[in-house]
Structure 1
Amino acid sequence: MARMHTRRRGSSDSDKPVADEPPEWSDVDADAVESRVVELAEQGHSPSEIGLKLRDEGVQGTAVPNVQLVTEKKITEILADNDAEPTLPEDLRNLMERAVRLREHMAANPNDAQNKRALQNTEAKVRRLVDYYRGDALDENFKYTYQNARDIV
């Protein structure tokens, strides 16, 4: 698939090995994983950070290579079941953080044409994602502005 704002092609990407059950060396209880996921979310970690922490630190000293194989739910599903889901989807929040950083950079460096273009592209992606999430994960009246993004982020 081609990239959104350039004429270049996208890079190919390797697939994870197909697995139906967690590896033998990772014998973690599903309830313990779910409680750890909720605990990490309450500490303010995003779903991808939670996955990395479970992979690296694990639960009770045992690493969790794939939460979905252990619990049969994705991390976001676990968070939704326990009312600990983030207010914004993670991809939208990351793009908003980037747009805020770029806008602040542009205020300090007004002649930086390359980052001006990057800001325009990033804000276009944010608006596209806001339209996608509007009504489901976002309020029906939500509209992206720099002020909204700065307040949220």
Structure 2
Amino acid sequence: MARVYSKGHGKSGSALPYVRRPASWQKKTTEDIVSIITGLAKKGMMPSKIGAVLRDQFAIGLINHYTGTRVTRILRAAGVAPEIPEDLYFLIKRAVQMRKHLERNPRDISTKYHLILVESRIYRISRYYKSTKKVPATFRYQAKNAAALLASFA
């Protein structure tokens, strides 16, 4: 599938391991992993960061092989999941940073153009998340309220 705002088709990607069970040398149980995940989430880490920490510090490659579920589902069951999805959060954060930059540099045409692209992506992904009920139906991105929106979800 082609990218929306570029010419590339993005053929590269990682391949999942063939064996779909935990490594034989790994001694962590499902309960240990779930407690680590919820502990990291309570410290304020996002799900992708939690996965990177588990991979780098605890040698747990795919959480799904150990627990049977994903990190966000574990967080949702524990009641510590982020209120809006991570990709939408970071798109809004990027748009806020771009607006701050444009306040200081109002003639930066390239940033103006890319802000339009980022905000259109925000509108598209928020429409999808409303239809799948991952954000409330009343969620609405507005540029003037975006910084306050980030503060409330952080």
**TM-superposition CA deviations, 1:45-104 (whole Å, max 9, x none):** 00000001111122xxxx212111011110011011111110110010010111111111
Structure 1: tracts of 5 or more residues without a match: none
Paired with 2:70 and 2:104, the residues of 1 have a C-alpha distance of 41
Deviation of 1:148 after TM superposition, in Å, equals: 3.0
Structure 2: tracts of 5 or more residues without a match: none
Deviation of 1:108 after TM superposition, in Å, equals: 0.9
Deviation of 1:25 after TM superposition, in Å, equals: 2.0
What is the match of residue 151 of structure 1?
148
Alignment length (residue pairs): 149
Aligned AA for 2:66? V
More helix by share: 2
Superposed CA RMSD: 1.3
Paired with 2:148 and 2:19, the residues of 1 have a C-alpha distance of 42
TM-score, length basis structure 2: 0.90
TM-score, length basis structure 1: 0.91
**TM-superposition CA deviations, 1:90-122 (whole Å, max 9, x none):** 010010111111111111111111111110000
Identity fraction in percent: 33
Deviation of 1:11 after TM superposition, in Å, equals: 4.3
What is the match of residue 26 of structure 1?
26
Paired with 1:112 and 1:16, the residues of 2 have a C-alpha distance of 42
